[in-house]
Amino acid sequence: MSKGDLISKGNGFDLLDQFEHILDSDPLIDEVGFIHPSQFVILNKEAESSKQQSKDEIWSSDNSLDHEDSNFWNRDHKLGISAHVLLPLYKAAKDAFMDSIRQYKIVENLPGASEDEMDSPRSSAMESEVMKHSKALLLLSCDFGTAWNSRKLILSKKRHMSLFSDELLFSGLVLSYSPKSEQAWCHRRWVIKMIAGQYSAVQEIVGKESDLVEKIAERSKMNYRAWNHRCWLVFYMTREQVLLELNKSRKWAGLHVADNSCFHYRAQLMLTILDLSWHKQEDETSDHDVEVYQIWKEELLWNEDLIKRYVGREALWLYRRFLSLYWTRHFATNVGDATHQSRHTSCVADDVNIFLDNELRLVNSCSTIPDNKFEDFHAQSIHAATYILWLTKQLPKSQEIELKKKLNAGSLLTMMNEACPERSPLWSNCLHGSI
């Protein structure tokens, strides 16, 4: 090892000490960021003007503290780390973590290491070393899976509700600045599964968890990992919670009409209530069916409203594909006017036709382009035409033929070929045959 390496290594351990000291003395840190050294000056100035006494602190501090001030910035539970120290700090944190977990595993695997052994002061000192260093490391490198695993290993031995709660806070902190960290989301699911297996608090957590996703989705648009987490939560929800979530996410969806993930989440909630109403059918009254029918109808109306208000949004039309498909499959054929379950085939067909006529009207009204220059209207007309073609393909044969007649498929095909020539093989495929 060269002399230069030794110096930087020593420096790294000092930095790690400082870093872990800050984390230890301020457990309520709720924001972390890597900042350019020049930002320290700005941040310190801001702090000076807001708090007179902090100025005295800075001026009274000796040289070494001054030096620390340019590595870390910690006020009001916000932590800034200078981009200049990231490399030595990371290396020190990684080495310290790898050492601590290696030692911990040696002790853990000693033959005859009983439960008592693991509760010994020596063992718990080792555990806290692993927890301390893995925390420091993960704040620097959020997808370092081995570090998350080491925390799972220790938590699975302790099984304290308070430790699980701490873990939700910690992974929440990581997600606040790395909202796409796959490992952090995965860690949360592991913690929630542990809680669900032991404590009954899981329903409460599910609600809070869903709020967290919404908060993160606000800053991190179309974050697949975040929304996937929210979809996963649906498994743990009661019917009441599902209905509540539908209500809660509606306003957000209306404000984020391009966020396909949010509409997929709503689709999941809709499918879940539909599913639950089927499973209840034997012993329950049809109250639930009527309710689901109403919800579905309202969702279709709401979606139509959004489509007309926000012109040219792909996500809205895709959501309509889903809503309409299930409508034709389940409500037009099962509930009809929401009072009887079994109806004559002719009536069923009537219902579907009324529905499809309405869809055709919507598509036609969205196909007029007021001014060719408006890209949104152009997109709207393509989405509308694609929507009705897609739906046509999914219908039973007899309805497909009926709808194609009304569609004037030939002129639609010409229109689509002009608007979207690269997809002409698709258009000819879906209009081929039964016209």
Q: Which residues bind another protein (CB under 8 A)?
A: 83, 86-87, 90-91, 98, 140-141, 143-146, 149, 152, 186, 189-190, 193, 222, 224, 227-228, 231-232, 234-235, 258-261, 264-265, 267-268, 271, 313-315, 318, 321-322, 325-326, 386, 390, 393-394, 422-423, 425-426, 429-430
| Residue 2, Cβ density class (10 Å: 0-12 exposed, 13-18 middle, ≥19 buried) | exposed
Min. distance of Cβ 6 from another protein in angstroms? 16
CA dihedral (369, 371, 377, 378) in degrees, to 10, reads: 80
* Residue 230 CB neighbours (<10 A): 24
Which tokens go with 68?
Answer: 């620390």
Q: CB 104 → another protein: shortest distance, Å?
A: 13
Pick 140 or 366: Cβ nearer another protein: 140
Closest by Cα among 318, 246, 326 to 278: 326
The DSSP bridge partners found for residue 80 are 33, 73
Please provide the DSSP assignment of 116-148 as one string.
HHHHSHHHHHHHHHHHHHHHHHHHH-TT-HHHH
Least CB distance to another protein at residue 206 (A): 15
Nearer to another protein, 75 or 423 (CB): 423
The answer to whether the CB of 93 falls within 8 A of the CB of 133 is: yes
For another protein, the closer of residues 227 and 293 by Cβ is 227
Decide whether 232 or 338 has the Cβ nearer to another protein.
Answer: 232
SS3 string of 68-119? HHCCEEEECCEEEEEHHHHHHHHHHHHHHHHHHHHHHHHHHCCCCCCHHHHH
For residues 34 and 40, which CB has a smaller minimum distance to another protein in the complex?
Answer: 34
Query: Which residues, including other chains, have CB under 8 Å from residue 48's CB and lie 6 or more apart?
Result: 54, 55, 58
Q: Are 239 and 199 in contact (CB under 8 A)?
A: no
CB of 56 to another protein, least distance (A): 34
Give 107 or 290: the residue with its C-beta nearer to another protein.
Answer: 107
Question: Which residue(s) pair with 82 in the sheet?
Answer: 35
Q: Minimum CB separation from another protein for residue 265, in Å?
A: 8
Shortest Å, Cβ 192 to another protein: 12
Q: How far is the CB of 267 from another protein (least distance, A)?
A: 7
Shortest separation between residue 373's beta carbon and another protein, angstroms:
16
Beta carbon nearer to another protein, 129 or 350: 129
Alpha-carbon torsion (367, 370, 374, 376), positive or negative:
negative
List 75's β-bridge partners, or say none.
78
Can you read off the two tokens belonging to residue 303? Answer: 């979606």
Least gap, CB of 259 to another protein (angstroms): 7
Q: Cβ of residue 322: shortest distance to another protein, in angstroms?
A: 5
Closer residue to another protein (CB): 316 or 335: 316
d(C-alpha 320, C-alpha 329), whole Å? 14
Closest to another protein by CB, 258 or 415: 258
Q: Residue 394 is which amino acid?
A: Q
Is residue 139 within 8 A of residue 74, CB to CB? The reply is no
Q: With respect to another protein, which residue has the nearer C-beta, 22 or 257?
A: 257
